[in-house]
């Protein structure tokens, strides 16, 4: 298929549904958290706002201890403009800048801004863009950048970076991803049910910001009431260029690349971006964050969090501010049940375990899952790979997990790169089906990090080599120059001696002549 064919096909996204390779049909387990309505969290006694909440380096705090801040005031500056700004979740006093656990998979500590709320919950002076429909797209993008918005589906990639790149490359279709495929997580479903208007508004603003012609909102076929709610919102807004597409629930169809494959039948090229196909994919929650930032001027300081699992008394969705300790959310849901056993941030397939519920809610926290003893598979001894190929059959990225596992455990990094390790989305399907209980995703996470660090090492080595060679060349040059200078000096001295000798000779000659004449 030529590039032009691919682009034409990408333009027909959503008209006909396709399949991606592999995947799993998992028990949904979403109903338990969808029975109670969405509820906003009361203010906790203290907020612990981590300065690292996006993919990239930590933000720099621009508040000092004892300073009073207003709700929505910027308290963390991203390392690059538009990357990972952090805003105060409420008005109050900065009590400390402390190193605390920041809900990172490593369990390591990071710098947190500790804010004691004053109870007034007073906004800073808001600067909305009133007439967004006529505002220049660059102004909209700037607003997104200033509001600290990141992808709320879980990857927390800065939205401004994605949007800037998309608008540079030229986008025809905006895809809003509402197909949250991981079991238990229902925050997007709840959002689409309760605030469909703000999603549609966000879609229209994003569409204008990147210059797309139309929007597709992808939802799952198991989200009953969502379709009607969104339809009604679309009709009400009068936007004719927004389509709602229902996709079949197969894990991980909510992955960006998988969803694009379902909608277009095309694969995002390895190492490429959806923008190569003229597409931009954003989570529905990100769209509402954009709507709030542009129309109300409010930065991203809260998100919907699903608190669920058999270890929670009353599972539900909560609207929680960033920085709220997780224990407060759990109390709001009636606390733990007797057999609560493991606290997980994220879903059962891609989430990671937290060691304490005093960790704060972060922008990436779509779900807090508490599993009971009954849910947890006991640790199993790892058996040798029997090369049954189940993992390759379920891999949505069309990789060969058994092969990659072998290569990683033998440190054949160049080979793993050739076999597409960097295309692994860490969905956990291979791990789930492996009859030998090999923790494949753990291996792939390890391998991907090694591959990345190897690449930086090689780059640094190359730079060091260039600097070394430049230095050698410089030393050789100065040596040569010094030698030339010395030679010149010697020659000059020799010349001087020669001149003097000649002069003396001439004097001698004239003297002898004078003597003769005399």
Partner 1 sequence: MLPAILVITILGGLFGLGLGWASRRFQVESDPVIDQIEAILPQTQCGQCNYPGCRPYAEAIANGEADINQCAPGGEAGIIALADLLAVEPKSLNPANGEEKPKALAVIDEMVCIGCTLCIQACPVDAILGASKYMHTVIDSECTGCELCLPPCPVDCIDMVVKDQGTGDWKWPKPQVIAMNLHENHP
Which of 104/208 has CB closer to partner 1?
104
Reduced to 3 states (helix: H, G, I; strand: E, B; else coil), residue 23 is coil
Task: Pick one of 138, 228, 356, 460: the residue that binds partner 1 (CB under 8 A).
Answer: 460
> Taking the complex as a whole, how short is the minimal distance between the CB of residue 381 and partner 1, in angstroms?
4
Which of 59/326 has CB closer to partner 1?
59
> Taking the complex as a whole, how short is the minimal distance between the CB of residue 310 and partner 1, in angstroms?
25
Q: Which of 121, 146, 142 is nearest to 132 (CA)?
A: 142
Applying the rule CB under 8 A, the residues between 471 and 490 that interact with partner 1 are 471
Query: How far is the C-alpha of 214 from the C-alpha of 173, rounded, in Å?
Result: 5
Query: How far is the C-alpha of 220 from the C-alpha of 399, rounded, in Å?
Result: 25
Query: How far is the C-alpha of 284 from the C-alpha of 242, rounded, in Å?
Result: 13
363 with 83: CB under 8 angstroms? Answer: no
Residues contacting residue 144 through CB under 8 Å, at least 6 positions apart:
159, 160, 163, 209, 290, 293, 294
Task: Pick one of 381, 514, 515, 516: the residue that binds partner 1 (CB under 8 A).
Answer: 381
Task: Pick one of 39, 457, 488, 495: the residue that binds partner 1 (CB under 8 A).
Answer: 457
15 with 264: CB under 8 angstroms? Answer: no
Query: How far is the C-alpha of 300 from the C-alpha of 231, rounded, in Å?
Result: 26
| Sheet with strand 302-308: strands edge to edge | 39-40, 316-321, 302-308, 367-372, 340-345, 352-353
**17 φ, ψ to 5°?**
-90, 145
Task: Pick one of 60, 467, 483, 500: the residue that binds partner 1 (CB under 8 A).
Answer: 467
Task: Pick one of 81, 105, 130, 170: the residue that binds partner 1 (CB under 8 A).
Answer: 105
Considering the rule CB under 8 A, would residue 495 count as an interface residue with partner 1? no
Considering the rule CB under 8 A, would residue 110 count as an interface residue with partner 1? yes
Considering the rule CB under 8 A, would residue 412 count as an interface residue with partner 1? yes
Which of 356/468 has CB closer to partner 1?
468
Task: Pick one of 442, 488, 505, 508: the residue that binds partner 1 (CB under 8 A).
Answer: 442
> Taking the complex as a whole, how short is the minimal distance between the CB of residue 385 and partner 1, in angstroms?
12
| Site stretch for partner 1 (CB under 8 A), options 35-43, 361-369, 461-469, 510-518 | 461-469
> Taking the complex as a whole, how short is the minimal distance between the CB of residue 358 and partner 1, in angstroms?
17
Helix locations, 340-396, DSSP H: 390-394
Which of 411/484 has CB closer to partner 1?
411
The bridge status of strand 109-117 relative to strand 47-50 is antiparallel
68 with 92: CB under 8 angstroms? Answer: yes
| Site stretch for partner 1 (CB under 8 A), options 20-28, 203-211, 287-295, 457-465 | 457-465
Considering the rule CB under 8 A, would residue 449 count as an interface residue with partner 1? yes
Query: How far is the C-alpha of 90 from the C-alpha of 378, rounded, in Å?
Result: 42
| Site stretch for partner 1 (CB under 8 A), options 251-259, 262-270, 437-445, 476-484 | 437-445
> Taking the complex as a whole, how short is the minimal distance between the CB of residue 383 and partner 1, in angstroms?
6
Residue-by-residue DSSP string for 147-190:
TT-B-TTTT--BHHHHHHHHHHH--SEEEEE----STT--HHHH
275 with 166: CB under 8 angstroms? Answer: yes
Q: What is the CA radius of gyration of the chain?
A: 32
Considering the rule CB under 8 A, would residue 439 count as an interface residue with partner 1? yes
Considering the rule CB under 8 A, would residue 137 count as an interface residue with partner 1? no
Task: Pick one of 120, 376, 386, 464: the residue that binds partner 1 (CB under 8 A).
Answer: 464
Considering the rule CB under 8 A, would residue 57 count as an interface residue with partner 1? yes
- Long-range contacts formed by 2-8: CB under 8 A, 24+ apart: 6/266, 6/277, 7/277, 7/278
> Taking the complex as a whole, how short is the minimal distance between the CB of residue 258 and partner 1, in angstroms?
23
Considering the rule CB under 8 A, would residue 445 count as an interface residue with partner 1? yes
Task: Pick one of 126, 455, 461, 486: the residue that binds partner 1 (CB under 8 A).
Answer: 461
Query: How far is the C-alpha of 427 from the C-alpha of 441, rounded, in Å?
Result: 8
Considering the rule CB under 8 A, would residue 411 count as an interface residue with partner 1? yes
Footprint of partner 1 (CB under 8 A): 52, 57-58, 102, 104-106, 108, 110, 379-383, 411-413, 437, 439, 442-443, 445-446, 448-450, 453-454, 457-458, 460-462, 464-465, 467-468, 470-471
């Amino acid at each position: 298929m030529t590039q032009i064919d691919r682009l034409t096909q990408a333009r027909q996204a959503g008209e006909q549904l396709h399949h991606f390779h592999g995947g799993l049909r998992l028990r949904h387990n979403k109903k338990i958290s969808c029975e109670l309505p969405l509820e906003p969290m009361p203010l906790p006694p203290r907020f612990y706002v981590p300065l690292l909440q996006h993919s990239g380096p930590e933000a720099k705090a621009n508040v000092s201890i004892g300073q009073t801040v207003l709700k929505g005031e910027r308290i963390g500056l991203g390392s690059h403009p538009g990357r990972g700004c952090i805003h105060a979740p409420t008005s109050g006093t900065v009590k400390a800048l402390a190193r605390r656990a920041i809900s990172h998979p490593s369990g390591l500590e990071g710098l947190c801004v500790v804010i004691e709320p004053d109870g007034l919950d007073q906004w800073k002076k808001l600067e909305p863009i009133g007439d967004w429909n006529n505002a220049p797209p660059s102004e909209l993008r700037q607003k997104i950048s200033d509001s600290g918005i990141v992808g709320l589906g879980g990857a927390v990639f800065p939205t401004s970076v994605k949007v800037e790149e998309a608008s540079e490359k030229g986008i025809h279709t905006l895809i809003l991803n509402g197909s949250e495929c991981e079991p238990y997580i229902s925050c997007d479903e709840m959002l689409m049910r309760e605030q469909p208007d703000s999603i549609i508004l966000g879609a229209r603003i994003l569409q204008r910001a990147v210059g797309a012609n139309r929007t597709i909102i992808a939802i799952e076929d198991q989200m009953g009431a969502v379709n009607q709610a969104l339809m009604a919102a679309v009709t009400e807004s009068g936007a004719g260029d927004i389509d709602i597409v229902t996709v079949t629930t197969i894990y991980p169809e909510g992955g960006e690349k998988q969803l694009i494959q379902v909608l277009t039948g095309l694969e995002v090229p390895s190492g490429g971006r959806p923008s190569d196909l003229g597409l931009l994919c954003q989570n529905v929650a990100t769209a509402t964050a954009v709507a709030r930032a542009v129309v109300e001027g409010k930065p991203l300081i809260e998100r919907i969090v699903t608190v669920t699992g058999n270890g929670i008394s009353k599972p539900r969705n909560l609207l929680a501010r960033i920085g709220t300790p997780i224990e407060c959310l759990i109390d709001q849901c009636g606390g733990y049940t007797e057999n609560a056993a493991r606290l997980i941030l994220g879903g059962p397939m891609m989430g990671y375990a937290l060691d304490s519920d005093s960790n704060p809610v972060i922008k990436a926290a779509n779900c807090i899952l508490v599993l009971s003893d009954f849910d947890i598979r006991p640790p199993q001894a790892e058996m040798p790979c029997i090369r049954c190929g189940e993992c390759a059959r379920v891999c949505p990225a069309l990789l060969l997990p058994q092969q990659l596992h072998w290569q990683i455990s033998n440190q054949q990094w160049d080979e793993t790169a050739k076999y597409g390790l960097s295309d692994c989305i860490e969905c956990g399907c291979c791990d789930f089906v492996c009859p030998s209980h090999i923790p494949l995703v753990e291996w792939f996470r390890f391998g991907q990090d090694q591959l990345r660090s190897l690449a930086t090492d090689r780059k640094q080595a190359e730079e060091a080599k260039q600097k070394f060679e430049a230095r050698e060349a410089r030393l050789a040059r100065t040596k040569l120059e010094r030698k030339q200078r010395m030679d010149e000096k010697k020659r000059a001295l020799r010349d001087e001696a020669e001149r003097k000798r000649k002069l003396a000779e001439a004097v001698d000659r004239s003297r002898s002549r004078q003597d003769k004449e005399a």
